[in-house]
Structure 1
């Protein structure tokens, strides 16, 4: 190869790296129906080796999967560099002080790689703990956010002399998902960013705009971190769509159909998702698996890297 050709390659690589401003993460299959829990650690390690920025979880209780906290803890122990994010965890289904301790432990095990995406939930069957029902969940989350900070700061708990967490526990960065005005206000007061719904970019763009507006109204500097979510199933797209429909079917046929029809089933669809989410200002795109085939990690990596 002559010097001109070498220079051309260097310039090409430099331009590609400069133009790729969005980070690409991938999900754990923790809420694919009947997932084998022992798949989670190996999946996490493989995603880290492939070069993804972040591992995400999808959360709900009333479904045969693995909870966010367990999946994130398993991923934390199986990896050393990749980021961890719940996208999103239904925080009001938990007692706030207990969840704060769980999250602090996961963050500590990971070496400070956890970010927590929070939502309030919409399905009554996810709210199973006595005193933690669907009603009043927004107000509970507001109280829990105060509790989180107190627990992570080492305040004594339970009326006794002891804190719940060891010294050095940090305040874990929070992001928020949802559509209601209260969500955007909460994000601007407490969070570092916003997580969009698992829908195509044109459907997510208005919520990204609203998040930016709420951030500005709150007097925050800069912009919120904007995270986009997309499902993918590259080897068997139809199976992936069936799985995603099944997961969201409790929210009604229209909603389940809308999300399942957006599953990326080809390289072209993945690239189009990246391009359109970049266009609306996403800082990071999380491609969540719609099946439990570990080879999907490699298929996705071959497309995006």
Structure 2
């Protein structure tokens, strides 16, 4: 179950309540969406709130736009969320596709792939307790574990990161038939790298079981930077109604994904109970 942290003008206090209801309903994980230049709640804040409001449910960022963050700061934030949750966090990383999210001076939207690879090395160094450049102390407590990493993206470098340092891959929010080749590429990169087993595959789907029109309008609004055609396509792919949600689940099961994240399109708390009745 996704958190409603990037529904436009979300009521921030809905986030911990949503997290508690999702755990009580029996969902496996809670997922955040990451964006800065939008009137929502920061994904790290949403995940921290969810960690404090729950005890067992998994926490996943799907996806966090990584290169918009100073890497030492993000590594410390993530380590703290994972620690206070009792080790329940999985970090889903992406490059960030919206130029207005890059609000930190010196961290612009160019060269993000190379920067992400460098940032991953920094995260792991911080989590090992090494002293960051310019600091006198480690940034995290001793014994801090590394956080599991998932990667999104469609460039070959994204699949190579999955195979090199990741636990798995998060597909884009699109129709299952359009996402299937990406999951195949993730599996192929994993095999080519000689990794044992298979990558953990996570799919994303927007849904609305109450006010479908408002849900589609909110999806369109969120993807407006992609242009009218792209925003309309994302809105049209939203699973509206119980039958559509069931069909989406069945389609992703056929693709062999390990987990499907149902992202809400409104912050109505009934949108936790309704899909629970449909799918659990």
Same fold (TM over 0.5): yes
Runs (4+) of structure 1 exceeding 3 A deviation are 158-161
Per-residue deviation at 1:260? 0.8
Please give the per-residue CA displacement for 1:47-98, whole angstroms capped at 9, x wherever unaligned: 0000000000011111000111000000000000000000000010001011
Identify which of 5, 23, 47 aligns with 1:48: 23
Give, in whole Å, the separation in 2 of the partners of 1:140 and 1:109.
Answer: 28
Give, in whole Å, the separation in 2 of the partners of 1:45 and 1:132.
Answer: 35
Per-residue deviation at 1:190? 1.2
Identify which of 14, 32, 36 aligns with 1:39: 14
Which residue does the alignment assign to 1:286?
Answer: 261
Identify which of 213, 218, 238 aligns with 1:263: 238
Which residue does the alignment assign to 1:303?
Answer: 278
Larger Rg: 1
Give, in whole Å, the separation in 2 of the partners of 1:30 and 1:77.
Answer: 15
Give, in whole Å, the separation in 2 of the partners of 1:28 and 1:174.
Answer: 19
Give, in whole Å, the separation in 1 of the partners of 2:134 and 2:107.
Answer: 21
User: Are 2:84 and 1:109 aligned?
Assistant: yes
Moved more, 66-75 or 259-268: 259-268
User: Are 2:203 and 1:240 aligned?
Assistant: no
Identify which of 48, 67, 79 aligns with 1:73: 48
User: Are 2:74 and 1:99 aligned?
Assistant: yes
Moved more, 250-259 or 239-248: 250-259
Please give the per-residue CA displacement for 1:250-298, whole angstroms capped at 9, x wherever unaligned: 1111211111111111111111111110111110000000001001100
Give, in whole Å, the separation in 1 of the partners of 2:62 and 2:135.
Answer: 34
Which residue does the alignment assign to 1:164?
Answer: 139
- TM-score after normalising by structure 1: 0.90
Aligned ranges 1:139-288 → 2 under 5 Å? 139-288=114-263
Per-residue deviation at 1:157? 2.1
RMSD: 0.8
Give, in whole Å, the separation in 2 of the partners of 1:274 and 1:124.
Answer: 32
Alignment CA distance shift 1:199-1:160 (3 Å): closer
- TM-score after normalising by structure 2: 0.98
